[in-house]
Amino acid sequence: MSGREMEYIKNAFETNWIAPVGPNLQQFEKAIAEYAMVDDAVAVSSGTAAIHLALSLLEVQAGDTVFCSSLTFVASANPILYQGAEPVFIDSEPETWNMSPIALERALGDSFLSGKLPKAVIVVNLYGQSAKMEEIISICSHFNVPVIEDAAESLGASYKGKASGTFGDFGVYSFNGNKIITTSGGGALLSNNKEALNKARFLATQARDPAPHYQHSETGYNYRMSNVLAGIGIAQLQVLNERVESRRSIFRRYFQELSCLNGIDFMPELANTTSSRWLTVCTINEEVTGTSVKSILQALTLENIEARPVWKPLHLQPLFKNCKYYPHNDKESISEQLFQKGICLPSGSSLTEDDMVRILACIKGTMKLKGMVI
Ligand SMILES: *Cc1c(COP(=O)(O)O)cnc(C)c1O
């Protein structure tokens, strides 16, 4: 927390605006839209809810297909299943680790020929880095397929000077506890289509028709963010740029110490983009370094330091075992390679120099140890 959250929470309590609406909620939505420079934003209970609303607005239903990045957290694709639709997973490419425009084009070409284009493409901006949005938007517009930009991990990042999350027909942010800023739990749906977002507000509050009695003609959801949590969001948004700066400086510290070692490569930052470096992520070449993701994770765990492997690609998940997958090319599945050798290093905005020294010593220690055995 930044310290100013309590002011807004206190205000919500004192004025008795708790939920489902209130001045904090309105102010937070306005602040998100201003930050991202889009026409409107709807604050909801989670990033997952925001993706679900986007799919509802695009009328995704049973029997439809939706394309989605494979290398991501399961929340990117779960809402496809909520709608009874079928996900098709698209591989990553090496320059951003995000959706491969080449694989996407092949997949869209195939769907076009089979006479059944997807209802939407969900593009994820992993670990703070934007996907190749220009290429992806241009391919999708060619086939007239709408884009949902899952920017849950890239709030604070930019692509050619524009905020990440503002390139698709809809953008999604998450304010879950693990994200760069948080409302404890929460999310937002962004768009320049105000009419669609008003429909999202309607759907997010049980789709109540404008009648004095309770009348409903569509299936709605209970997805609105509470006015109390929106208060936390207002204060958090004020420190977003500082948080990005800390995450980027943590990245620089790792880079300084580890990038000179052969066999360690950091997640790239595409030209003309600024990654928020939500997480610092690198790949470990076992043969060259003499260590492995597994050994580093074990060594860090012994020191009570938490780190994680890179997301397990969704096309490899038991949940999605029957879904179609388009690799980057017929020789390489980039997401599978990244899953094999990628590690997410501790990256919290509040890491201290002492923490960094401990983490770095621990990582380097695994390399020395293995070297001695050889
Ligand atoms: C966190 C996350 C989500 C979901 O956000 P919640 O607010 O936790 O529902 C979606 N996509 C990605 C890539 C995420 O990392």
- The CB of 182 under 6 Å from ligand 1? The reply is no
- Per-residue pLDDT, 20: 82
Low-confidence ranges of the chain (pLDDT < 50): 371-374
Q: What Cα–Cα distance (Å) separates residue 341 from each residue in 238, 294, 311, 312?
A: 36, 9, 11, 11
Q: Among 70, 66, 39, which residue's Cα sits nearest to residue 55?
A: 66
Structural tokens at position 159: 């692509």
Asked whether residue 180 falls in the same domain as residue 260, the answer is no
Asked whether residue 90 falls in the same domain as residue 109, the answer is yes
Distance separating alpha carbons of residues 300 and 307, to the nearest angstrom? 7
Question: Are the C-beta atoms of 186 and 43 separated by less than 8 Å?
Answer: yes
- The answer to whether position 138 is within a domain reads yes
Distance separating alpha carbons of residues 205 and 225, to the nearest angstrom? 10
- DSSP per position, 219-263: ---B-BPPHHHHHHHHHHHHTHHHHHHHHHHHHHHHHHHHTTSTT
- The CB of 153 under 6 Å from ligand 1? The reply is yes
Q: How many domains does the chain have?
A: 2
- Per-residue pLDDT, 51: 98
Distance separating alpha carbons of residues 43 and 37, to the nearest angstrom? 16
- Per-residue pLDDT, 19: 83
Domain of residue 61 covers 5-240
Question: Are the C-beta atoms of 230 and 27 separated by less than 8 Å?
Answer: yes
- The CB of 78 under 6 Å from ligand 1? The reply is no
Q: What is the CATH number of the domain that holds 34?
A: 3.40.640.10
Asked whether residue 78 falls in the same domain as residue 213, the answer is yes
- In this structure, which residue's CA is closest to atom 5 in ligand 1? 47
- Per-residue pLDDT, 369: 57
Which of 53, 174, 276, 308 is the pocket-test mutation for ligand 1 (most atoms within 8 Å of CB)? Answer: 174
Tens digit of each residue's pLDDT (9 = 90 or more) over 231-288 = 999 999 999 999 999 999 999 999 999 999 999 999 999 999 999 999 999 999 999 9
Asked whether residue 179 falls in the same domain as residue 311, the answer is no
Question: Are the C-beta atoms of 126 and 117 separated by less than 8 Å?
Answer: no
Residue 188 Cα to ligand 1 middle (Å): 11
Asked whether residue 158 falls in the same domain as residue 285, the answer is no
Asked whether residue 19 falls in the same domain as residue 86, the answer is yes
- In this structure, which residue's CA is closest to atom 2 in ligand 1? 152
Name beta bridge partners: 156: none
- Per-residue pLDDT, 372: 47
Length of the chain (residues)? 374
- The answer to whether position 334 is within a domain reads yes
- The answer to whether position 374 is within a domain reads no
- DSSP per position, 1-46: --S-HHHHHHHHHHHT--SS--HHHHHHHHHHHHHHT-SEEEEES-
- The CB of 70 under 6 Å from ligand 1? The reply is no
Asked whether residue 66 falls in the same domain as residue 143, the answer is yes
Asked whether residue 209 falls in the same domain as residue 271, the answer is no
Which amino acid, one-letter code, is at 196?
A
- Per-residue pLDDT, 355: 97
- Per-residue pLDDT, 60: 98
Query: pTM of the entire structure?
Result: 0.97
- DSSP per position, 139-195: HHHHTT--EEEE-TTTTT-EETTEETT-SSSEEEEE--TTSSS-SSS-EEEEES-HH
